[in-house]
């Protein structure tokens, strides 16, 4: 084989390797502080983790912010590769291929401290008005609670304001999100809120790839391998601990 041919083949291999290493994965996320928000450091906890994990793969995340409904639609029809921070549900798994969970979060119920009502199990919410977010897969069996009224809003802060003005009796939400919203927008009123002693499911965030695009299983497999690596070396835990120190409910 001539030296010239060897050089050409070597160049082709280098170019091919670079193309694979730079393979983009188009991720859609919705603004959901502290997990994903353009105004936050590293654009949020979830996005810092995603970029950290993908650095261990041959994929380069290209992240776009969009409303949750448009993000789901864009991924389900294959315009984008995956949702970057999705909660799992069986109904969604028909359209989406889920990664291993890369982040866990606690759901909590909050009420006004001035309310005399006590809640220790879901059945105690019977007849109450509960503030929730539109289109969120909470994993809570609301149908089992008699006469529970779900009051849906697009943003957590709307739910918290509804609680303050008496439009709802309780608010359900992610602990980190509620803490950030309280301290950022309702600093003078933080003392008015109280976490209810009801155990709720732990929610886990995944990369959820479109089943409409061939080859997405390879991307998910690469992500899962890299996730196992960063959990093992402690870098994943360090990032989470850094964010939890910033935002917590006392």
Tens of pLDDT, residues 203-237:
899 999 988 888 899 999 999 999 999 999 999 99
Q: Hey, which residues does 205 pair with through a beta bridge? A: 87, 103
Mean pLDDT of the chain: 88
* DSSP labels, 67-78: -HHHHHHHHHTT
Q: What is the CATH number of the domain that holds 177?
A: 3.40.190.10
Q: Residue 74 sits in which domain range?
A: 3-104+204-246
Same domain, 194 and 208: no
Whole-prediction pTM value? Answer: 0.75
Do 71 and 142 sit in the same domain of this protein?
no
Total Cβ atoms within 10 A of residue 9: 11
Could you check whether the bond before residue 239 is cis, i.e. omega within 30 degrees of 0? no
pLDDT-based confidence at 248, cuts 50/70/90? low
Same domain, 94 and 50: yes
Q: How far is residue 136's CA from residue 152's CA, in Å, rounded to a whole number?
A: 10
Tell me the pLDDT tens digit for each residue of 137-170.
787 888 999 999 999 998 889 999 999 999 999 9
Same domain, 33 and 84: yes
Structure tokens that stand for 140 in this block: 């809570």
Q: In this structure, are 185 and 213 located in the same domain?
A: no
> What pLDDT, on the 0 to 100 scale, is given for residue 76?
79
What are the tens digits of pLDDT across the range 24-55?
999 999 888 899 999 999 999 999 999 999 99
> Number of folded domains in the chain?
2
Note whether 11 and 100 are same-domain residues: yes
Q: Are residues 98 and 211 in the same domain?
A: yes
């Amino acid at each position: 084989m001539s030296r010239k041919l060897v050089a050409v083949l070597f160049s082709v291999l280098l170019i091919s390797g670079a193309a694979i290493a730079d393979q983009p994965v188009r991720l859609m996320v919705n603004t959901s502080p502290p997990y994903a928000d353009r105004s936050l450091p590293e654009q949020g906890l979830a996005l810092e983790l995603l970029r950290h994990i993908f650095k261990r793969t041959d994929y380069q995340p290209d992240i776009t912010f969009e409303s949750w409904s448009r993000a789901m639609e864009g991924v389900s029809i294959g315009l984008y590769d995956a949702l970057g921070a999705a909660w799992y549900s069986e109904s969604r798994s028909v359209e989406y291929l889920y990664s291993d969970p890369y982040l866990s979060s606690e759901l909590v119920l909050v009420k006004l401290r001035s309310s005399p009502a006590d809640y220790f199990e879901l059945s105690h919410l019977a007849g109450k008005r509960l503030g929730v977010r539109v289109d969120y897969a909470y994993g809570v069996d609301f149908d089992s609670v008699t006469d529970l009224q779900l009051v849906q809003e697009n943003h957590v802060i709307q739910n918290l304001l509804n609680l303050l003005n008496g439009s709802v009796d309780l608010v359900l939400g992610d602990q980190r999100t509620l803490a950030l919203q309280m301290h950022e927008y309702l600093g003078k009123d933080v003392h008015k809120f109280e976490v209810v002693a009801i155990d709720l499911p732990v929610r886990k965030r995944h990369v959820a790839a479109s089943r409409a695009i061939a080859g997405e299983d390879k991307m998910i497999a690469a992500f899962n391998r890299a996730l196992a690596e960063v959990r093992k070396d402690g870098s994943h835990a360090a990032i989470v601990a850094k964010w939890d120190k910033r935002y917590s409910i006392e």
